[in-house]
Chain A
Amino acid sequence: MRDTVTTPALPLGDDALILSHRLGEWAGHAPVLEEEVALANIALDLLGQARVLLSLAGDEDELAYLREEREFRNLQLVEQPNGDFAHTIARQLYFSTFQELLFEQLASGDTELAPLAGKAVKEVAYHRDHAAQWTLRLGDGTDESHTRMQRALDALWRFTGEMFEPVAGLEALPWATFHDVWTTRITATVEQATLRLPEGPQRGAWTAGAGRQGLHTEPFGRLLAEMQHLHRSHPGATW
């Protein structure tokens, strides 16, 4: 529907949009009401980021609701299904820790993303804290919660390498340093939670930057169908 958009706002906006939608799926299903509000708050923070970022890349509604799967540039990590609560927390921990590093760096730069990053980095610091607090409690909780938290960390590990693939237009950022600091922080949280850092590759043939190139995992199609069906069924609807 459009030529390739080259601004880095597009992939970063897609990350925020898709993760926001995933977290929104917890509405009505969270383990307790307090946690439901917490996840919804985080989802709304991310949606706010997505709106600013996608507006930098074009028309936010068109970009969110009218693109096909292959046109989305989000990480495969953020499109992974919610799974059990531990999977959602592991996804949050991995992504928020990365996003905080990225936005800190962008906030101190002079790109068009700096104003958004400066505002969002405070939100993301809270997202990371929320995930870390839950990782500690689940990991150092009951046998059941420990097992589930470890399983979730292991399951999502292979999607983490893609975060550190340089985003087009942001090649000058210190991506290798992001990876080092991210690994240090994740290791500290995981070990404090009596869990172990997953072994195995952080990327494979299908996960090395694939999301950024428009290649997505199977659950993503269903997410898009749900997210886009209202707009596609009733174009231009307002309320």
Chain B
Amino acid sequence: MTTTPRPAESRASGAPAEAADARPTDWPLWEVFVRSRRGLSHTHAGSLHAPDAEMALRNARDLYTRRSEGVSLWVVPSAQITASSPDEKDAFFEPAGDKPYRHPTFYEIPEGVHHL
């Protein structure tokens, strides 16, 4: 288990199929998504090591839902996640920063409307 997801740094290139003589520390990394209750989306909860998907699911159950946090679990091989690069942060995200007109702040919100 690691507390911060590091998809790009995972050593697991071919996540589920590792070498037969792999030591436990060579188990691939999996990202865990928990749905806390019906109607909500699965939310990233953390990550863990496991030899295969079935065991990853069981480890996720033990690590992330033992205090009734969830009703559904997803596990995804970390190596399958393509992450944006910190180097590209400016090009990716900064242009949106000075365009306040994209935010819906110029409307009168009718009374009684929540969650807009």
Bitwise interface map of B from 48 to 68 toward A, beta carbon under 8 Å scored 1, else 0: 111110110011001100100
The residue on A at minimum CB distance from B63 is A37
Known: A31-B24, A142-B21. A37 touches B62 (CB 8 A): yes
Please indicate which of the listed interface residues A31, A34, A133, A141 has the most CB atoms of chain B within 10 Å of its own CB. A34
Bitwise interface map of A from 3 to 47 toward B, beta carbon under 8 Å scored 1, else 0: 000000000000000000000000000011111011001000000
Bitwise interface map of A from 107 to 139 toward B, beta carbon under 8 Å scored 1, else 0: 000000000000000000000011001000100
Q: Identify the 10 closest CB pairs spanning chains A and B, nearest first.
A: A34-B59, A32-B24, A38-B62, A41-B62, A37-B62, A31-B24, A33-B1, A34-B48, A37-B63, A142-B20
The residue on A at minimum CB distance from B50 is A34
- Write the residues of chain B forming the contact surface with A, with a CB cutoff of 8 angstroms: 1, 20-21, 24-25, 27, 48-52, 54-55, 58-59, 62-63, 66
The residue on A at minimum CB distance from B22 is A142
- Write the residues of chain A forming the contact surface with B, with a CB cutoff of 8 angstroms: 31-35, 37-38, 41, 129-130, 133, 137, 141-142
Tally of contacts, chain A with chain B, CB under 8 A: 35
* Interface pair B54/A133, CB less than 8 Å apart: yes
What are some 29 contacts across the A-B interface (CB < 8 A)?
Answer: A31-B24, A32-B25, A32-B27, A32-B49, A33-B1, A33-B49, A34-B1, A34-B48, A34-B49, A34-B50, A34-B59, A34-B62, A34-B63, A35-B59, A37-B1, A37-B59, A37-B62, A38-B58, A38-B62, A41-B66, A130-B58, A133-B54, A133-B55, A133-B58, A137-B51, A137-B55, A141-B20, A142-B20, A142-B21
* Interface pair B59/A38, CB less than 8 Å apart: yes
Please indicate which of the listed interface residues A38, A130, A141 has the most CB atoms of chain B within 10 Å of its own CB. A38
